[in-house]
Structure 1
Amino acid sequence: MKTLMLQTLAALALITTSATAQDNPMENHTASYIAMPAAADQSEAFAAFLTGAAPIVGETEPGTILWFALQAEDTLAIFDIFADEEARNAHFVGTVAAALNQNADTLVAGGWDNGVMANINNSDVLSVKVPTDLYSATTATYIKLEAAPGKSAELAELLTAAGPIVTETETKTLFWAALQIDENNFAIFDIFADNSGREAHFAGQVAGLLNEMASELVAGGWDDGVVANVHNFDILAIK
């Protein structure tokens, strides 16, 4: 165990040095992720609603930097990046949010309160790979991570340092963001042109390091704390 921790700390020091050479291009940005179960027989209609929302977000929400509509069978999701907290607040009182509120009883299992609001995960952006070839992306992944007891700062440091590594080594990862939800909970969101990009990502340096360190840093370790929390989506629309 002592040898593993020494190796872990050495690896963390290496990627931290790499990260400090590049400022976070989305410093002070915020994010939100909402996974919503479609009401019975409403998956197709809900998907059409979210697909049609993308141009409205583009026209009416200058502070929403990125917006993704996602689908995994009967679960629909929205992931977005905002310039700051004010822009996120504006999004949730904007045209698309109002329309979703109005239609939630029909489209979303649980309606607005239990199907939408109860599933919002707001977060701060720790580190990113700036999007490239954004509109060629077809698939996305969201992974929620809970830090092991007393390891929040170290997990945050690893995720913060990982952005430049993804940028330098993963050409098929078209966007990558590390997020902090609260003191103990974190997430990773990324998009790929196809499944080969996802496979390359999970065989890459950052995934390898997280695998090695998960038993120390992530509640549940690699299998129960990381792999079990991987949610893959098809991308319906992007702003």
Structure 2
Amino acid sequence: MKTQILQTVAALALITTSATAQDNPMVNHTASYIAMPAAEGQTGAFAEFLAGAAAIVRDTEPGTVLWFALQADDTLAIFDIFADEEARDAHFSGAVAAALNQNADALVDGGWDDGVVANINNSDVLSAKAPVDLYTATTATYIKLKAAPGKGPELAALLTAAGPIVAETEPKTLFWAALQIDETNFAIFDIFADNSGREAHFAGQVAGLLNEKASELISGGWDDGVVANVHNFEILATK
């Protein structure tokens, strides 16, 4: 395993120098992630609301490239990818956002301001594996990463270079995106057909490399900076 990781590090060193020149399937795309706690006794109603919103997004938001409604116990979440910032702005002024605003006091703990708006994480897509078989996916993972002091550019380079490796080596990872929230904060979002796909991902080359480099690049290292920030979800609906 150590040899494999070192080989991957060497490959990434070469890939990183030309990553911006490669065909990134989502170059210039933006993303948004919102994790929202359901109001007491409203988890089922909130989940039903988000599942029903997928059709509205499909019909009214051409610039929303991907949209996922997610659930982990009493936490509901939305993750979406947009063609550009204009499309993201259109989404937040669209029919689904308006309906969520109207129903937030009933469905979301904290209502619209404290339960929805305060939990929005906007980001830019650094690298991605193009989505395949989206409607067979049942589970998703979101991981927020904070770069160690002064290591933001290096972590960004690693995540940018990882996309092609995921695409080449992880057939059970149906979609993968590396995201940059700001100069210090990053995230990874991916979807899988089932838990075996997630397990293969976390045993794969990119996870091994991230483990190897975490103590240097990520605040909290592997255990406190990566594993502690893994959030697994059931997928309720997809655009």
Q: Which residue of 1 aligns with 2:119?
A: 119
- Map residues 32-51 of structure 1 onto 2, 5 A cutoff: 32-51=32-51
**Is this contact kept in 1: 2:9–2:209, CA < 8 A?**
no
Q: Deviations over 1:50-74 (max 9, x none)?
A: 0000000000000000000000000
In 1: Cα distance, 2:190 partner to 2:46 partner: 23
Q: Which residue of 1 aligns with 2:203?
A: 203
1:146 aligns with 146
Deviation, 1:24, is 1.0
Corresponding residue of 1:71: 71
Q: Does 1:130 align with 2:130?
A: yes
CA distance in 2, matches of 1:81, 1:204: 24
Give the alignment's Cα RMSD to 1 decimal: 1.6
Partner of 1:188: 188
Q: Which amino acid aligns with 1:211?
A: N
Match of 1:107, as an amino acid? L
Aligned length: 234
Q: Is the 8 A contact 1:19 1:163 kept in 2?
A: no
Contact 1:22 1:164 survives alignment (8 Å): no
Give the TM-score normalised by the residue count of structure 1: 0.95
Q: Which amino acid aligns with 1:72?
A: A
Q: Return the letter of the residue paired with 1:163.
A: G
The SS at the match of 1:47 is helix
Unaligned runs of 5+ in 1: 1-5
* 2:36 partner SS: strand
Pairwise CA distance, 1:23:
1.6
Secondary structure class of the residue paired with 1:213:
helix
Distance (whole Å) between structure 1 residues aligned to residue 75 and residue 26 of structure 2: 28
Which residue is equivalent to 1:3? Answer: none
Summarize the Cα distance change of 1:231–1:75 in structure 2 as closer, same or farther, 3 Å threshold: same
The 3 A distance-change label for structure 1 pair 189 and 209 is same
Distance 1:73 1:62 in 2: 30
Structure 2 length-normalised TM: 0.95
SS in 2 for 1:79: strand
User: Which one-letter code corresponds to 2:41 in the other structure?
Assistant: D
1:68 aligned partner, one-letter code: F
Deviation at 1:7, TM superposition (A): 8.8
SS of the residue 2:70 aligns to: strand
User: Where does structure 2 lack aligned partners over 5 or more consecutive residues?
Assistant: 1-5
State the SS of the aligned residue for 1:49: helix
